[in-house]
Amino acid sequence: MDVVAEAIEKAAKNSDKFKSTQVEKLIELEYDLGTLLASDTNELSKKELRSDKENYLKSLARDNTQLLFNKIWELPTETVEDAVVVQLPTPKYILPREKPIPKPKPLTKWQKFATEKGLKKTKKAKLTWDDVLKKWVPLYGYKKATAQRDKDWVLEVPQNADPFVDRFADKSTLKKEKVAKNEFQRLRNIAVAKKIKIPRVGVLPAAKPGTDQLKTAASVARVSTASIGKFQPRLPREKTSVSAEKALPGVKKRKLPHLRPADEKKSNINILDSILNKRPKLDVEKAVNKHIFREQQEESAERKKTQGKGKKRSTFGNKKGKGAGKRPGAKPSGGKGKRTQTGGRKRR
């Protein structure tokens, strides 16, 4: 009996600590259970606020919270995974915005063009029929890539191409370049939409340039003189950037390092292959003109031969030697020699 009495006494003491769930208010609270809001319009006690402000506000907040939870548990409940869940109604109270309403996004180039031309976006099918693989292939995703690999399991090598070049690697590189180009165009459209000034050609300068960029800038500044940096003194501990100096004008070309016999043989074979694989470019107009010129030369040579077979010209006075065939008293050719015969009257 003593144990029961102690338990009852202990329960009575504990009950004094906890307040009742029933709270009475002069004016009933306004509830918005969708947003878990309870508005208390009752007048505050100025006397209790002045005497014990903290405890008064705590008790007031506790009572209002108890009333809100009493209203919540009046709603229909259900058990989900050993937990009691209440479905809240739609909220009625309109919460004020912290920030202003965002402005509508400006249209991109394509959206402007589509609105002007009246183009509408049509929903494309996600699968397409492949005649080679004889199955439905998705337009994008990892299954598309695997289907493309199954389809292009072998690639044709062109006639004049190097057979030892990896065509699959070239194809993947070309695809990466296309993806990078599309990404660059997408970023440019975003910059245009946000009215950000960007250069038409080139890349924007980096906020923190790297070591290679600083070396390149130093080498460019060194050769940006009238003598292209020939008489420009070097700074102490200045290191030359080989890659930057190669691209600059007026810099002497570096000699190739001495290669091993195997490397030299390989480079010579590559040069020979590049020469042999080149197709000769045929200039049709030049070839036709050359053929016409050759025919004209042959015709002129034949004409000279036929003219040489006719009668020979008779010489004047049947003379032989240097002066044969010339009229008497003629001036010697080239101002050489003397007149042997004179004819007619002398002029004074």
pLDDT tens digits, one per residue of 245-302:
665 555 566 677 788 889 889 989 988 888 887 766 667 788 888 889 999 999 998 8
Close Cβ partners of 337 (under 8 Å, ≥ 6 residues apart):
none
Q: Nearest 10 degrees: CA dihedral of 281, 287, 289, 294?
A: 150
Q: Which residue blocks in 36-141 are alpha helix, DSSP H?
A: 46-51, 53-72, 109-117
Query: Which single residue is written with the structure tokens 């470019």?
Result: 281
Residue 208 lies in a domain: no
Last residue of a domain, one of 45, 71, 86: 86
Domain match, 6 and 77 both: yes
Residue 91 lies in a domain: no
Residue 13 lies in a domain: yes
Residue 11 lies in a domain: yes
User: What whole-number distance in Å separates Cα of residue 128 and Cα of residue 201?
Assistant: 39
pLDDT at res. 335: 53
Close Cβ partners of 171 (under 8 Å, ≥ 6 residues apart):
152, 155
Residue 332 lies in a domain: no
- If one counts the domains in the chain, the total is 2
The three-point CA angle 314-315-319 to 5° equals 140
- Residue ranges with strand state E in the chain: 30-32, 37-39, 77-79, 84-86, 127-130, 135-138
Domain match, 126 and 188 both: yes
Domain match, 62 and 119 both: no
Domain with 22, as residue range(s), is 2-86
Q: Is the pLDDT of residue 206 over 80?
A: no
Tokens of 211: 């070591």
Last residue of a domain, one of 143, 177, 193: 193
Q: What is the average per-residue pLDDT within 112-128? A: 90
Close Cβ partners of 250 (under 8 Å, ≥ 6 residues apart):
223, 228, 229, 230
pLDDT at res. 114: 94
Above pLDDT 90, what percent of the chain? 14
Q: Mind listing the pLDDT tens digit for each residue in 297-345? A: 999 988 888 876 555 555 555 555 555 555 555 555 555 555 555 555 6
Residue 233 lies in a domain: no
Last residue of a domain, one of 193, 213, 233: 193
pLDDT band at 1 (very low <50, low <70, confident <90, very high): very low
Residue 263 lies in a domain: no
pLDDT at res. 115: 93
Q: Is the pLDDT of residue 136 over 80?
A: yes
Per DSSP bridges, beta strands 30-32 and 135-138 are: unpaired
Domain match, 130 and 180 both: yes
Domain match, 60 and 130 both: no
Helix, strand, coil distribution of the chain in percent, nearest 5? 45, 5, 50
Q: What is the average per-residue pLDDT within 57-71? A: 90
Q: Is 79 helix (H, G, I), strand (E, B) or coil?
A: strand
Least trusted range by pLDDT, from 44-58, 100-114, 153-167, 325-339: 325-339
pLDDT at res. 48: 86
